[in-house]
Each structure stands twice: as C-alpha cells, then as structure tokens.
Amino acid sequence: MAHIAVVLAAGKGTRMRSALPKVLHEVAGRPMLAWVLDAVAATGPQRTIVVVGHGGDQVMASLPPGVEACVQEPQGGTGHAVEVALAHVGDGDEDVVVVPGDVPLLREDTLAALAQGGEAAATILTAVLGDPTGYGRVVRGEDGQVKAVVEQTDADAETLAIAEVNVGMYRFRRADLAEALAGIGVDNAQGEKYLTDVVGWLVAHDRPVEAVEADPVETMGVNDHVGLARAGRVRRRWILERWMGDGVAVDDPETTYVDAGVTLAPGVRLHPGVHLKGDTRVEAGAEIGPDSYLEDTVVESGAKIWYSVVRGARVGPDVQVGPYASLRPGTVLARGAKAGTFVEMKNTTVAEGAKVPHLSYLGDAAVGERANVGAGTITCNYDGYDKYRTEIGADAFIGSDTMLVAPVTIGEAAVTGAGSVITRDVAPGALAVERSPQREIPGYAARRAARKATHEAED
C-alpha cells in the first residue's frame, strides 16, 4: 500500500532549555530531523509532511526539497498534529506513517518494515524498556492483543508497571485514522488530543491494532541534552563502524568524532582525539592525529596531519601539517609541501615542495615551488583597514624573522636576510636585507665585570 509520511515536530522541546527548536539540535553533525527525514525518504512515501510549530520558520528553512511543512498553531497534542497534517494533505487513501522528529537513531529498515503495512487498521512500534518512565504504556489483553496506549500522566499503578512502551511511530489506514481522530476527545490529564487514543478507539470499534516490537536504542526519543549526547555517541559509533568496515583504521573509536558528511578512503588512519567535521574528505593512506580538528577540508593521499586545526583547506598528497598548525579557509598546500610547528595560514597557497616549517603567519599569500620560508616569518597583510597580498616566487629563500609588509612580491630565487622588514618588491635572484649593521665592542664583558666588582666594594 502506498503511504504518506507525517513527521511531528511542532512541540517545544522544553527540556532542551534552548532557543533552537529541539529537532534542529545536532547528532553527529546533522540536525535530528535530517536523520529522521533520511529514514522516512528511504520508505518511498508519496508525500512527506513535517508538522511545525515552535520555531517553525527555522524548521521549515532546514527542510530538503520535496518535503512539505504544515503549521500546527497552537499545539493541541499529537492527535491534533496529525489532524492538521491530514487537512494539509487533502483527500486520498494512502496509508499514513507517523514518526516523531526527535528519533535520530531510527534505521531505514525498521521504518520501511512498518510502512509496508499489513492487514490491521493500525500498526504501532513498541519497545520494552528497563525504565519505562515517561512513555505511554502498551496495554495488552489476556489474549496478548493490544487494547490501548495509556500515557504516563493518565496511568494507574498497575499500568505504570508495564515495561512495553509506545515509541511514537505508527502506520494507519487513512480512513480509520480520520474516523478515530474525529471520535476521540481531549479528556485526559493534559487536555490534549492524543494520537495514542486512536489505538484504544480502533480496538473498541473492532478494528484490531498490531504491535511490532523494535530495538529500544534506535527508537529512543531525545528530550534533553543527556539524551542528545547519548544519541550522538551511538550515531558516531555506527558511522565509525561503517568506515572501519570499509578499511579505515580507527585507533580509538571512543575519542574519534567523524560527522555524517565526512568521506574516508580505505587505508586512512585516524589516531586518537580526531574530529572530522562538515564536508571533509580524506584520501587513501593519509594519517590524521593524534588530536586534530578538521572541518570542510580535503586531505589527499599520503598526507600527515598531527595536533592541528584545519578548516576550509586543501592538503595535497604527501603534505605534512603540524604539530600545532592552524590552517584557515582558503589554504591550499600542493604535493609534498609543509606547514610545520606553530604555523598559521589563511587564504594562502603553498606550491609543490615548498616548506614553511616553523613559527610563521602567512595570510593572503602565495608561496612558489620549493621556496623555503624561515622560522618566524610573518606576512603583514592587514593595515587596519584592508588586506593585501604577498607573493613569494619559486625557489625563494625567506630568512628567519622576515616581516613581509604586503602588498609585496619576492621574485624567483630571491633571498631575504634574517630579521628584515621587507616593504618593497625584491627582484628575482636578488638579496634584500633591511637591518642596521652589527657593531662589535671588544673587551666589553671584562669591563662590565669590573664595574660590578667596584659597586659591590662600595656597598
């Protein structure tokens, strides 16, 4: 049976204590709702409708193309939310699959099995929990058939002792759902229209409801930051297990954080303490870490990055980065280049084989092939108002502690003397030195010692 999907995401998420709508909080680098919508899309629904309310504009802005939104205002409960969605959808006879927006661990197969349907008027997913507190309990009759779902706030002691809970995911036959929603009221502790009451209504009207037990981990709903962190840990483990299966070596999965959007090649090695975020891609044979943070960065084969922060950069084949480098957006290192200890770069290209080994800042710069940039070199790229470029030619040798006051160009194979403040272009092959001549005063140490001795004698 064809189906439409309704994702409930209008609730406030009070326990997050956050201005950000609950479903937009991230798990492994993606909003919870994005994970849910992936699982929903895999079931092949005719239409997908997200019910929004609190923070609706933000939630709507996050939706992928093809997913519709409808606004539930005010929020009159989960049953009311589904009514609003059905009104938005209009006529039709597809099944209706309902999923909450806060279940970021939901697996495609589980939801697909639910969406497949069956003969019953409704199928609900359940889980057996060690601690069912807070959930709606699944009440079964002596024959084992589902009788009703009773909310925590409406349950008596006997019902509260039931360990099987409703995880908030359902498949309904459309006509039965609409009829039941029209038939139920708001006579409960919260004065809301509960979607869960549809179950009892259907059973009472001789339309049996099926229950399918699911894995409590993947159906876990996130209500607060403790749950968010727990879900993040599980998702990250799944992501790493997938990459390890593909041949990626992960020394310590417990301290390795790889976001959903990252791509890794077989033969990559991740040392402990690595964070790979955003749209990062690492090619075969590259080694990252220990303790490195990469965001929106491409690392080509054989490169090695350790103890470094790299954002929006491209690290070429066999490049070495770190320890303690900070590469900022627009940095491109070509094959065999080096950005070494305590080196910061921004919007800078370093051509093949060029080295920046120690203690440097290069911003808005281009370094030519095989050039060597000495320790302590700084591009003075900012005059307080604007940024300017520095060009360093191929095979140039920048002496230690050179200040390159941009805009400035150092010609091919040119040399700057250590400690120079370079304010004018240097011709190819030339040496530019800017420093006062060294003076030498003979016998100074002895005279100084004698002066000290005299002072002490006087005291």
Backbone phi, psi, residue 450, to 5°: -65, -45
Q: How many whole angstroms separate alpha carbon 295 and alpha carbon 376? A: 26
| Pick 231 or 309: Cβ nearer ligand UD1 | 231
Q: Are 101 and 23 in contact (CB under 8 A)?
A: yes
| Pick 36 or 373: Cβ nearer ligand UD1 | 36
- Please give the angle made by the CA atoms of 63, 115 and 204, to the nearest 5 degrees: 115
| Active-site option among 3, 80, 225, 358 | 358
Show contacts with ligand UD1 in window 42-81 (CB under 6 A).
Answer: 51, 72, 75-78, 80-81
Residue in the shown chain whose Cβ atom is closest to Ca ion: 221
317: contact with Ca ion by CB under 5 A: no
| Pick 222 or 265: Cβ nearer Ca ion | 222
| Pick 184 or 339: Cβ nearer ligand UD1 | 184
Distance in Å, CB of 200 to Ca ion, minimum: 19
Neighbours of 390 (CB within 10 A): 25
Show contacts with Ca ion in window 97-156 (CB under 5 A).
Answer: none
Distance in Å, CB of 208 to ligand UD1, minimum: 19
Choosing from 35, 170, 172, 194, the residue that interacts with ligand UD1 (CB under 6 A) is 194
77: contact with Ca ion by CB under 5 A: no
| Pick 36 or 309: Cβ nearer Ca ion | 36
Q: How many whole angstroms separate alpha carbon 434 and alpha carbon 418? A: 9
The listed partner (ligand UD1, Ca ion, none) that binds 9, CB under 5 to 8 Å by sort, is ligand UD1
The listed partner (Ca ion, ligand UD1, none) that binds 343, CB under 5 to 8 Å by sort, is none
Core vs surface per residue 247-282: b (16+ CB within 10 A) or e? ebebeebebbbbbbebebbebbbbbebbbbbeebbb
What's the one-letter identity of residue 141? G
- Cα dihedral sign for 431, 435, 436, 441? negative
Number of residues that bind ligand UD1 (CB under 6 A): 27
Number of residues that bind Ca ion (CB under 5 A): 1
Backbone phi, psi, residue 193, to 5°: -90, 110
The listed partner (Ca ion, ligand UD1, none) that binds 76, CB under 5 to 8 Å by sort, is ligand UD1
Q: How many whole angstroms separate alpha carbon 164 and alpha carbon 271? A: 41
CA 211 to chain centre: 34
Show contacts with Ca ion in window 203-232 (CB under 5 A).
Answer: 221
Q: How many whole angstroms separate alpha carbon 127 and alpha carbon 198? A: 19
Give the relative orientation of helices 78-89 and 174-183 as an angle to the nearest 10 degrees: 130
| Pick 195 or 264: Cβ nearer ligand UD1 | 195
Choosing from 48, 110, 123, 166, the residue that interacts with ligand UD1 (CB under 6 A) is 166
Distance in Å, CB of 84 to ligand UD1, minimum: 8
β-pairing verdict for 408-410 and 431-432: unpaired
Closest CA to 20 of 33, 6, 5: 33
**Structural Rg of the chain based on CA atoms:** 32
Cite the beta strand spans of 53-152 per DSSP E: 67-71, 95-100, 122-128, 137-140, 146-150
The listed partner (Ca ion, ligand UD1, none) that binds 51, CB under 5 to 8 Å by sort, is ligand UD1
Neighbours of 63 (CB within 10 A): 18
Show contacts with ligand UD1 in window 255-314 (CB under 6 A).
Answer: none
Q: How many whole angstroms separate alpha carbon 164 and alpha carbon 270? A: 41
From residue 212 to residue 251, what is the string marking binding to ligand UD1 with x (rule CB under 6 A)?
Answer: ---------x------------------------------
104: contact with ligand UD1 by CB under 6 A: no
Q: How many whole angstroms separate alpha carbon 363 and alpha carbon 379? A: 6
| Pick 221 or 232: Cβ nearer Ca ion | 221
Active site residue 225: no
| Pick 55 or 363: Cβ nearer Ca ion | 55
340: contact with Ca ion by CB under 5 A: no
From residue 375 to residue 414, what is the string marking binding to ligand UD1 with x (rule CB under 6 A)?
Answer: ----------------------------------------
Residues engaged in binding ligand UD1 (CB under 6 A): 8-11, 51, 72, 75-78, 80-81, 100-102, 135-136, 149, 151, 165-168, 194-196, 221
Give the active site residues.
358
Binding site for Ca ion (CB under 5 A): 221
